Amino acid sequence: MTIRVLFLCTGNSARSQMAEHILRHLAGDHFEVFSAGTDPQGVHPLTVKVLAELNIDASAAESKGLERFIEQQFDYIITVCDRANDHCPGFPGDHRRIHWSFDDPAAVAGDQLQLKAFRRVCNEITNRMRIWIAAVDR
């Protein structure tokens, strides 16, 4: 049985994109994974870069709006930023809602510092995802 997961963030440019691609990479066919934003802003280039460092190809990723998924049913809806958690609408069906708060790496100033922030957040999401996958698979 495939588990449907939707990751939500504000811009769907970094954290939710990372979560979508990392879960797909780690769990493969066990999950059907999507991401969206409450105010989509386009995929940040550093998102694609740090995922590529993990051998995850996100070059075709697109920033999607929440309205695309509002009528769909999911097993899990996971917000990855506080603003999306505060503004998440209701979804149909019986699902679990989870909130994981990750810093916004795009908010960090300076090229090198921002790249470090993207790598740190990507690692945090990867670690959280591994723990979550193990718990869901039980």
Render pLDDT for 47-91 as a digit per residue (tens, 0 to 9). Answer: 999 999 999 999 999 999 998 998 899 999 999 988 877 777 677
Q: Is 123 left (phi over 0), alpha (psi -120 to 50) or beta?
A: alpha
Q: Which residue ranges form the domains of the chain, and what is each CATH number? A: 3-136 (3.40.50.2300)
CB atoms under 10 Å from CB of 9, counted, come to: 32
In this prediction, residue 71 carries a pLDDT of 87
pLDDT confidence of 138, banded at 50, 70, 90? low
Dump pLDDT digits (tens) for 77-134.
999 988 877 777 677 676 898 999 999 999 999 999 999 999 999 999 999 999 999 9
Residue 55 phi, psi (nearest 5) = 65, 35
Catalytic residues: 9, 81, 88
